[in-house]
Amino acid sequence: MSLASPSLSRSMSHRSILGRKFIGYLVLVLMLLIIIAPFYWMVITSFKGNLEISNFPPTLFPQHPTVSQYTQAFGQYGFGVYFRNSVIVSISATIIVVLLASMASYAIARLPIRGKASLMVTLLAISTFPQVAVISPLFILMERLGWLNSYQALIIPYTAFNLPFAIWVMRTYFVGIPKELDEAARVDGAGIMTTIFRVILPLATPGLFTGAIFTFVACWTEFFFALVFNNDTAYRTIPIGIALFSGQYTIPYGTIFAGSTVAVAPIVILVLLFQKWVVAGLTAGAVKG
């Protein structure tokens, strides 16, 4: 009996571990389904006709797939203009943010600045500042500068609001790059700008991509500034364009889902292409920052 007890104990322990693993995987699968379900429903609905969308109970797959919702979005509702505007504004703001944030992050990480911790806390606080608190003075400023209904009316505020968080993310990665590399570059005769662009920035690529993707997504999905500053159809971005798809008496759900699918596609592609660099930038910052 005593010989069987250890074996029985090991068997029960093994079953307990398997049970915990099974429960863990089951929870992960359920969470994944909950996350994916809305996106799946959006995509399949965009390929349904209006009659099929209104059917009850709804179907899990399009019975008669059609791209009419996409042609209507780009034709009748001018979604192509909104997409172009979002691309111009988001990419421009992202490039400016990455350039400025990389310089600022390098300076904060390398220079002996007094109150550096307080500065970083202030930057983080600024990044969470509510937009509604500054919308009135910004609107007056844009109006006096003649920038309402223009690209710069969104690019400048997007840069200002996303720059603090980008500095916070990139700085934690620059801290992890050895200072000896700067000294070696100076010994070889490289100036400060050459050191930054040819030595430091290539090593900080994951951190740069992390800040760039977060900035791009924030600009791509921003609604409030785009609604207030640009009410001209020629300068509306995707969030505003989709919000105005609805008519007075009807709501074109299929067209809205088609536009939303196109709007989500660039973000999904960016995450899939650069997920390794983004994860590397985040984890490096978390460990070394």
CA 277/CA 288 separation, integer angstroms: 16
Asked if residue 47 lies in contact with residue 62, where contact means CB atoms within 8 angstroms, the answer is yes
Asked if residue 205 lies in contact with residue 277, where contact means CB atoms within 8 angstroms, the answer is yes
Rounded to 5 degrees, φ, ψ at 103 are: -65, -45
On the 0-12 / 13-18 / 19+ scale of CB atoms within 10 A, 285 is buried
CA 71/CA 65 separation, integer angstroms: 13
| pLDDT tens digits for range 17-50 | 777 777 888 888 899 888 888 889 899 988 988 8
Asked if residue 257 lies in contact with residue 46, where contact means CB atoms within 8 angstroms, the answer is yes
Between 272 and 95, the more confident residue is 95
> Of 102, 50, 60, nearest to 257 (Cα)?
50
Residue 145 CA to its chain's centroid (Å): 30
pLDDT at 279 (0 to 100): 67
SS (H, E, C) 151-196: CHHHHHHHHHHHHHHHHHHHHHHHCCCCCHHHHHHHHCCCCHHHHH
* Whether pLDDT at 112 is above 60: yes
Reported confidence tier of residue 288, pLDDT bands at 50, 70, 90: very low
pLDDT at 21 (0 to 100): 79
CA 241/CA 256 separation, integer angstroms: 10
Q: How many residues does the chain have?
A: 289
Residue 157, preceding bond cis, omega within 30 degrees?
Answer: no
pTM value?
0.83
Reported confidence tier of residue 1, pLDDT bands at 50, 70, 90: very low
Reported confidence tier of residue 289, pLDDT bands at 50, 70, 90: very low
Buried b (16+ CB within 10 A) or exposed e, 204-243: bebbbbbbbbbbbbbbbbbeebbbbbbeeeebbbbbbbbe
Asked if residue 107 lies in contact with residue 182, where contact means CB atoms within 8 angstroms, the answer is no
| pLDDT tens digits for range 55-110 | 778 788 888 888 888 999 998 888 999 999 999 999 999 999 999 999 888 888 88
